[in-house]
Amino acid sequence: MKKLHNRRLIRSNFLSKRRKNRRENIIANEGTQKKELVWRKMEIKFSLFALIISLLTFSWTIYQDYKNNQEEIVINSFTSTLDNNVSLNKIELPKSPYIVTMRVGILLTNTNEKTVTLTNYKLEQIGETNLDIDFKYPTFYSGMDQGFSDENGTSQDLPFILKKGESKLVYINTGILINNNVFEKINKVYKIENGIDIPENIELTNRELSYYLVKAQTDLYGNKIEGDTYKSDEGEKFFHHVIDIDKSDFPIFSITFKSVNGTYFEHIFYEYKHENF
């Protein structure tokens, strides 16, 4: 009986160890499977991440190629200096007896990789309607567009070709109409200074024209300006003045260039617009 009991104990212990080992193996296998599952998930995440990076890189490459193949022109403008010339010419319009030609500097800069060839342009005056302040309507008149010139006044003709990073400075000679009231004020001052009326065709410097305008207390567009004028012993004209631009009316111009590939570049400019570049 004792031997039989011992055999049963041995067998029971053996079975217990066997069950224990089996449980440990199961637990170990489960741990291994969990680790493998974690690694598989990580591999999937890394694969997805790598795929996303590849797609982003591919998309960026396509975008860069597309962007570099586009035509890009930056346009800045500025009014000419006081020593530059302006011309006044008599015209046959009932409300505007004279037209003043201003030289407005236009700086064209190619900011992209592709060479841009500008083959055409359009200059127009734009204004706001009373119905919709955001809507601009174009107006045209004879003498407004007088073509391009360089800094020395030599005529410049299209096409303008700009390679990567290149800039070109030209002047658009823009005719501005003067109404009767403004002309009479300027002419009165001019006659006091010179003893004669303004000639039908005359060329002045910006400084001289501004001097007469300040003395007449008006700008070219009929807005009131305040200031003083004086002359040096040598007869050189000087002035200083202020004008409330926010309460002033003045013409606004739009110049639109067209490239040989059909791309349009528009720029808005007016006398009181100041740009730093």
Could you give the CA distance from residue 96 to residue 70 in angstroms, rounded to a whole number? 44
The pLDDT of residue 145: 92
What is d(CA 147, CA 172) in angstroms, rounded to the nearest whole number? 6
16-27: per-residue pLDDT in tens?
666 656 665 555
- pLDDT score for 98: 87
Q: What is the mean pLDDT of residues 175-179?
A: 89
Residue 131: what pLDDT? 42
Query: Quick check: pTM over 0.95?
Result: no
**Backbone Cα Rg of the chain:** 40
Q: Any bridge partners for residue 218, and if so which?
A: 224
Q: Among 89-93, 145-149, 179-183, 233-237, which range has the highest average pLDDT?
A: 145-149
pLDDT, tens only, 54-65: 778 777 766 665
Predicted pLDDT of residue 133: 44
> What pLDDT is stored for residue 132 in this prediction?
46
92 or 19, higher pLDDT = 92
Read off the pLDDT of each residue in 117-125 and give the average, rounded to a whole number.
95
Give the count of beta carbons closer than 10 Å to the beta carbon of residue 215: 21
> What confidence score (pLDDT) does residue 129 get?
47
Distance CA 253, CA 125 (A): 4
pLDDT greater than 60 at residue 121: yes
pLDDT value of residue 26: 56
Instruction: Give the model's pLDDT for residue 160.
Output: 96
Return the percentage of the chain with pLDDT > 90, whole number: 39
Q: State residue 185's pLDDT score.
A: 93
Question: 46 or 200: whose pLDDT is higher?
Answer: 200
- If phi over 0 gives left and psi between -120 and 50 gives alpha, with beta otherwise, what is residue 147? left
Secondary structure (3-state) at 13: helix
DSSP state of 81: P
Tokens for 122, please give them.
């359009």
31 pLDDT more than 70: no
State pLDDT tens for residues 69-84: 689 999 999 887 788 8
pLDDT of residue 202: 92
User: Are the beta carbons of 108 and 117 closer than 8 angstroms?
Assistant: no
Helix (H, G, I), strand (E, B) or coil at 237: strand
* More reliable by pLDDT, 190 or 143: 190
In this prediction, residues 99-108 reach a mean pLDDT of 92
Distance set, CA 124 to CA 138, 162, 174, 184, 259 (Å): 6, 24, 10, 27, 18
Over residues 216-270, the pLDDT tens digits come to 999 998 899 888 888 887 778 888 788 887 778 888 899 999 999 999 999 999 8
How far, in Å, CA of 218 to CA of 227, rounded? 10
Could you tell me which residue, 124 or 233, shows the higher pLDDT? 124
Are residues 102 and 176 in contact, defined by beta-carbon separation less than 8 angstroms? yes
For 186-209, how does the pLDDT look when each residue is reduced to its tens digit (9 = 90+)?
999 999 999 999 999 999 998 999
